[in-house]
Structure 1
Amino acid sequence: MTDLVTRVAPPRAPALRRAAPALLGYVAVRALGLVVLTVWTAARGKSAYTLLTARWDALWYTRVAELGYGYEVRLPNGDVHSNLAFFPLLPWLERLLHAVTPLSYAGAGFTVSLVASLAAAWGIFAVAERVYGRGPAVYAVLLWAVLPVGIVQSMAYSESLFTALAAWSLYAVLTGRWPAAGALAALAGLTRPVGIAVVAAVWVAGIISFVRRRSSPDPHGARAGEHAPALARDARAERVRAPDGAPDTPRAPAVLPVALGMFLAPLGAAGYVLWVGRRTGKGPLGYLDVQAGWRNGFDGGAAFARFVADRFQSVPGAFAGGAIVAGVALVLWLYAVCVRQRQPLPLLVYAGVVTALALCASSYFGSKPRLLLPAFPLLLPLARALARTRTSRSVLLVAGVAVLSAAYGAFWLNGTGPP
C-alpha cells in the first residue's frame, strides 16, 4: 500500500509566497464586492460604509466597545435583547484600535474585519494545502470569497475574525502544534458561541492522540509509519507534507503539549459564559437565558423546519422554500462528501458542529447562510474538483460566480441584509 506519509518533504517556498496567488485572488474578489456595493448603494442615495459598519450586529459590537456590557432593549412583546449575547473579542479589538488610532469604533471594527478576513483566507489556504496540496488550497480560498454572503467577510461582524482563529487552530492541530491550537481555540471561543466547534475539534484530536499513544507498542509511542499529525492524512493516498520543509517524524506528540492544548481550548468560551452567569445572577446557564431573550436557542431544527414548511403555503413563498430546501440539501451533501473523502477528523468535527448549530438554531432563519460562513471545510470537495478541471475553465467559472456574488451582496445589504 502506498505510504501516506512523506518522511522528508521537498524544499518549499516561504508560506506567504505559496499563499500569495490565493490571497491576491481573495483581495480581488472582495474588492469587486465592495465596488459593486458602493456603486449600488450610491445609486440609492445611501452609504455603503454605513451598511458595512453601523447596522445590525455591527451596532451591537460597537456599543459594547464604547459603553461596555449592560445595554439592553426591551421590546413591546416582552423580549429583552441584551448585549451580553455578543462575545467580547471583537469589541475588545475595536476598543484597542480606537484607543491607538484616530479610527472610530465602527471604523476599527471594519478594519479588524478586513485584516481578519485576509488572515482567514490564509488560514483556509494553509489547512487545504496541508491536506490536499496547493492547487485545491487556492480554489478553497476563492470559493470562500465568492460565497453568496461573502460580503459579510468585509463587514464589522465577527465572522471573519472567528474563521481566522478557527482555521489557524485547525492548522495547528494538523501540524501537531498543540499549545497554539488550544490558545487559538480559546480566542475563537471568545469571539462567537460557535467557538465550541473549534474546542470540539481540538479535544477529539487530542483524545485520539492519547489513544494512539496508549495503544502503541513502539517505545516512542507510535506504530511504525504513524505520524503525530496523522489526523491530517487524506485516505486517498495524497501526501502529507511537513510545514515549511521540516521533516515529518513518526513519533507521537509528547503528552504535555497535547494536554496543554486541550486545557487551553475551552477557556475562552467557558470563561465568558461563566462570567455572564455571574453577572446575571443566574448561574452557569445564565447565557442561555440571555439568548432566550433574543428567542434564540437550539431545538434540533424544529423551528427551522416549521419556517420552511410555512413557505409552501403560497406560490411565491414556495420558490423561497424550494431554494432553502435545495440549499440545506447541498450543505448536507457536501458534508457527506467530506466524510466519504475521509477528510481529517478535526475538520469533520469542526464543520459538523458549525453546520449543526447553524441549521438547528431556533431563530433568525435568514441568518443561517451567514452562520455557515465559517464552515470552510465543506468547500474542500469543490476545491478539489476545480483543481482537476482545466485552469481556463475553472478560472472563468470562479470569475463568473464572483460577479454574481458581488451583485447579490449589494442587493442583499440594500434589502433585508444580515440579521
Structure 2
Amino acid sequence: MPTLEVVHVEPEGAPLPVRERLARAARHRVTLALAPAVLFLAVREAGLLALRLMTERWNKDVAGVLTSWDGQWFLGIAEGGYAHVDPGLVDAFSRRTDETPLAFFPGYPALVRWVDGLPGVPVVGAALAVSLVSGLFCAYGLHRLGSRVSGGSYRAGLVLVVLFAASPMAVVLTMAYSEATFCALAAWSLVGVVERRWVLAGACCAAAGLVRPTAAALVVAVCAAAVVAVVTRRGDLRAWVGGVVAPLGLLGYLGYVALRTGQWDGWFAVQREGWDSRFDGGAATWKFALVVLGDPRSVLELATVWFLVAAVALVALCVRRGLEWPLVVYAVGVLAMDLGSNGLMNSKARLLVPAFTLLVPVALALVRRRPSTAVAVLVGAVAFSAWFGAYAVTAWQYAI
C-alpha cells in the first residue's frame, strides 16, 4: 500500500517564522549597507561602557579621560593654532619652546577646528565627533578592503571591522587622538591600491601625511605599488599621478617645520629635544622587553610586550597567507616604526592600532570557522579590548 506524504501548507497571508523573518532582514540591502557602521559603533560602545565603570572606580571624569595626554595638545592647537597653544602644556621634560607644538601634525586639529566653528559645538565635542566620524569612515574602508583582498568576502569585511574596533588599544579611536582619522585615510588609500584606483590611493595617502608621521609607512606602500603598476602596465598615467601625490602631505609638513625651525630635520629635532624620541633600530624596545619579561611591573607593560610579539607573528602569517604585498609592506612599515623607536614604551600598544592589515588573515580564517566559533572569538576580543582600553586610560597613571 503506497505511503501518503502529508504536506503542511501555510495558509496564504500567514506570518513567517521568526527565524525566516530575521534571515530576510539580515539580507536586506539597508541592513547590509549599515552593518559595518553598526558593528563598529556597537564594539566601541562596549568599550565606552567599560570606561564609564572604570572612571567611577578611579574617581575620574569620562570626558577628561577621553581628552587626556596628547588630546590636550590637539585641543590646544585646534583652539589657538600652533602660535597660541595653552602655555601650560609642556614636553616630556616640562619645557616649552615656540617649536614644541610642532611635534603634533596639523590634520586632525584642523578638522576639529572646522567642526568647532559650527554653532553651539564646543571644542571637546568637535574633537570626539571627528574621531567618531573618522572611525565610521574607517569601518567602511576596512569592510571594502576585507571584501576585495584575495579570498575576501562581505563577511570577512565585517569580521575585519570588529577585529579592528576590538584591537587592544582601540580606546584611542573614541578619544581626542588622531589615530581614527589617520586609520580612515590609510584604509581608503589601501583600498585604492588594491582596486588600482590610484588617484584615490594617492589623495588619501597625501591627506594621511598631514595627520600622523606613521604615514611614512603608507607612502612607501603606495609609491612602491604605483611604481610596479607603471612598469607592468606600461606607463599607467593614473599610477604616476597617485605615486607623485602620495608623499606630498608628509613632505609638505616636514618641510614646513624645517622652515620654522631653521633645520632640515626640524620635526625630528623637536621630537628629540622635547620627548627624547629617535629611531634607534629597536635597541630600546629590546631592552624594555627583556626587563619587563624578567620582572613584570604592570599589566600594561607586560601586555605591550606580548602585543609586539603577536604583531611580528601576524606579519609572518600575512606572508604565508599570501596577502597582497602592498598591505604587508604597510604593516611592516608601521611595525618597524613602532619597534625601532626609543620613544615612550607605554605608547607602543597604541602605535600598533594603524597596523590593521595584520588583522586581515585573522578575519579570513574566522569566516571559515563555524559561526559559533567565530562569534565566541569576536566576543572575547571585544570584552578584552573594552577592559584593557579602560584600564590603560584610568588605572594606568602614565601617558599611553
TM-score (norm 2): 0.85
Aligned pairs, number: 365
CA contact (8 A) 1:311 1:320 kept: no
| Compared CA separation, residues 257 and 326, structure 1 to 2 (3 A) | same
Q: 2:261 aligns with which of 261, 275, 280?
A: 280
1:190 counterpart residue number: 210
How far apart are 1:204 and its partner, in Å? 0.8
How far apart are 1:310 and its partner, in Å? 2.6
How far apart are 1:312 and its partner, in Å? 4.9
1:328 counterpart residue number: 308
1:258 counterpart residue number: 239
For residues 150 and 200 of structure 1, what CA distance do their matches in structure 2 show? 25
1:73 counterpart residue number: 90
Query: Structure 1, residues 302-330: CA drift from partner, whole Å, max 9, x if none?
Result: 1111222233554x449877655433221
1:100 counterpart residue number: 118
1:247 counterpart residue number: none
RMSD: 2.3
CA contact (8 A) 2:304 2:348 kept: no
How far apart are 1:75 and its partner, in Å? 6.4
Query: Structure 1, residues 338-360: CA drift from partner, whole Å, max 9, x if none?
Result: 01111112111111111110111
Larger Rg: 2
TM-score (norm 1): 0.81
1:289 counterpart residue number: 269
Unpaired stretches in structure 1, ≥5 consecutive residues: 1-12, 215-253
For residues 320 and 107 of structure 1, what CA distance do their matches in structure 2 show? 28
CA contact (8 A) 1:19 1:125 kept: no
1:9 counterpart residue number: none
SS at match of 1:193: coil
Q: What percentage of residue pairs aligned between the two structures are identical? A: 38
Q: 2:230 aligns with which of 210, 216, 227?
A: 210
1:342 counterpart residue number: 322
Alignment of 1:2-21 (within 5 A): 18-21=32-35
For residues 30 and 283 of structure 2, what CA distance do their matches in structure 1 show? 44
Q: 1:56 aligns with which of 59, 65, 69?
A: 69
How far apart are 1:46 and its partner, in Å? 2.0
Residues 1:36 and 2:50 are matched in the alignment: yes
CA contact (8 A) 2:301 2:346 kept: no
SS at match of 2:233: helix
2:349 counterpart residue number: 369
For residues 142 and 210 of structure 2, what CA distance do their matches in structure 1 show? 20
CA contact (8 A) 2:209 2:247 kept: yes
| Compared CA separation, residues 335 and 92, structure 1 to 2 (3 A) | same
2:376 counterpart residue number: 396
2:12 counterpart residue number: none
SS at match of 2:395: coil
Q: For residue 104 of structure 2, what is the amino acid of its counterpart?
A: F
CA contact (8 A) 2:37 2:140 kept: yes
Q: For residue 295 of structure 1, what is the amino acid of its counterpart?
A: D
Unpaired stretches in structure 2, ≥5 consecutive residues: 1-26
How far apart are 1:101 and its partner, in Å? 3.3
How far apart are 1:45 and its partner, in Å? 3.0
How far apart are 1:17 and its partner, in Å? 5.6
Alignment of 1:60-209 (within 5 A): 60-70=73-83, 71=85, 73=90, 82-131=100-149, 132-209=152-229
| Compared CA separation, residues 210 and 397, structure 1 to 2 (3 A) | same
How far apart are 1:19 and its partner, in Å? 4.9
| Compared CA separation, residues 165 and 75, structure 1 to 2 (3 A) | closer
Residues 1:25 and 2:35 are matched in the alignment: no
322-331 or 152-161, which moves further after superposition? 322-331
For residues 120 and 377 of structure 2, what CA distance do their matches in structure 1 show? 41
For residues 41 and 96 of structure 2, what CA distance do their matches in structure 1 show? 40
For residues 28 and 260 of structure 2, what CA distance do their matches in structure 1 show? 47
Q: For residue 310 of structure 2, what is the amino acid of its counterpart?
A: L
Q: For residue 38 of structure 1, what is the amino acid of its counterpart?
A: R
For residues 108 and 334 of structure 2, what CA distance do their matches in structure 1 show? 19
